[in-house]
Chain A
Amino acid sequence: MTTVKINVNGKRHVHEVEDRTLLVNFLRDTLGLTGTHIGCDTSQCGACTVNVNGRAVKSCTMLAVQAQGAKVLTIEAMARKGKLHPIQQAFTECHGLQCGFCTPGMIMATAGLLEDNPDPSDDEIIHGLEGNLCRCTGYVNIVRAVKRAAELQRGAQ
């Protein structure tokens, strides 16, 4: 067991965890932040994507103890005071989801993508979301949603 101190969505948490605890299980089971999903066993689907120290990572492929001292942001931190984050707004407007299972990961991966590249082309979006699988949408509306999110974030209307 190890005591981990992790800042999640601006709040400091101190918990004793088994060394083998995955970050995603720490977020979901220990902290009750179930917005971060688990979609696979093979590090491929990206449903578990969260932001650790400024970069998008797959929280199913990182140990909670590796996040010792880190700043973690999850989907729960995106909407503020009842107002959707521009990326969430864009996914809603563009119908960028159907069942919604992949959506928290898509949104966190999109946030990482737009941080690196605020005005991506379709091709750059497709490559930027390579680590996220969606079983419903066929991706067309996700690409649209990311373009719209980029517009909203750049302040265009």
Chain B
Amino acid sequence: MYQFNYVKAKSLKEAGELLAAHPDAKLLAGGMTLLPTLKARLAQPTHLIDIGSLAGIKKITLKTKKLVIGAAVSHHAVAVSDEVKKAIPALARLAGLIGDPQVRNRGTLGGSVANNDPAADYPAAVLALNAKVVTARRRIKADDYFQGMFATALEPGEIVKSIEFPLPLRAAYAKFAHPASGYAMAGVFVAQVGKHVRVAVTGAGAGVFRWSAAEKALRKNMSPAALDKLTVDATDLNEDMHASREYRANLVKVMAQRAVAQLAGQ
């Protein structure tokens, strides 16, 4: 690792001021993505501003119409939260599928959503549930927030405070995990929010995306069979040593059908 100065922020306001004062500073939350990056010398921030233990962004709050999860809430805390299990059980389940127990004990929702790894799990939930990313400056709709591989609508110095999830009628997530890393080779989150059905796909493309043909089919008939005749266009999907584009395209469909199958009885 290159040298840097570590600063533990006392408030979000202070973190914002530090980011403004030091253009090459970086926020540190759980460090499960950032520290491996620094160990590989792939980044050289001058300062690390630790917001991982700020109590104000470590809360889970269930309101009448939405579930609000602070940016610094760990994956473990989401996975075991009674509020999350009650309001959006699929989200608790998804959090429990991330990486491994040690990673879940440190990694945070805000870090995952800010990083927007194309194979990360949370972006699929945020997009399918039509959630809002709340920053110190504004609230960003999920459809506007995710902008492809590691790219988001966040501006320099903008800090994610929380994510607001509208409560769905029902929702489910199915993931085909990479056997070594645990990241999604394809993960599909299906949510019914009001009359709308939203299907978000992670792991397969350059970034999380909605599968609109599946959404249309499921609005008419919420059953795995409704997807039988659909195919996913493989052209823009990822191809690597683990799977070809075509294989991933098929995985997306299979994961979507598994997610829909989970919805039965909810």
Contact = CB atoms under 8 A, between A and B. Distances in A.
B211 to A, nearest CB: 28
Interface in A35-85: 41-44, 46, 49, 55-58, 60-63, 65-66, 68
Given A43-B32, A43-B35, A62-B35, A57 B6 contact: no
A19 B5 contact: yes
B152 to A, nearest CB: 23
Contact of B6 (A22, A63, A113): A63
A128 interface: yes
A-side interface mostly: mixed
A66 B36 contact: no
Interface stretch (B65-73, B97-105, B111-119, B126-134): B97-105
Contacts of B6: 2, 19-20, 63, 65-66
A18 interface: yes
B3 A62 contact: no
B216 interface: no
B185 to A, nearest CB: 16
B105 A66 contact: no
Interface residues of A, number: 29
A109 interface: yes
A132 B50 CA distance: 27
Given A19-B6, A65-B6, A128 B101 contact: yes
Interface in B6-55: 6, 8, 28, 31-32, 35-36, 38-40, 48, 50, 52
B1 interface: yes
A44 B106 contact: no
Contacts of B4: 19-20
Interface in B153-178: none
A130 interface: yes
Contacts of B48: 19, 63
Contacts of A62: 31, 35, 106
A43 B106 CA distance: 12
A2 B48 CA distance: 13
Contacts of A112: 101-102, 105
Contacts of A118: none
Nearest to A130: B100
Given A20-B3, A55-B76, A57-B106, A63 B31 contact: yes
B105 A57 contact: yes
B96 to A, nearest CB: 9
Interface of A: 2, 18-20, 22, 41-44, 46, 49, 55-58, 60-63, 65-66, 68, 109, 112-113, 128, 130-132
Interface of B: 1-6, 8, 28, 31-32, 35-36, 38-40, 48, 50, 52, 76, 99-103, 105-106, 180-182
19 contacts: A19-B3, A19-B5, A19-B6, A20-B1, A20-B2, A43-B103, A55-B105, A57-B102, A57-B105, A58-B102, A58-B103, A60-B39, A61-B35, A63-B35, A66-B28, A66-B31, A113-B101, A131-B100, A131-B103
Minimum-distance CB pairs A-B, first 3: A131-B100, A19-B6, A130-B100
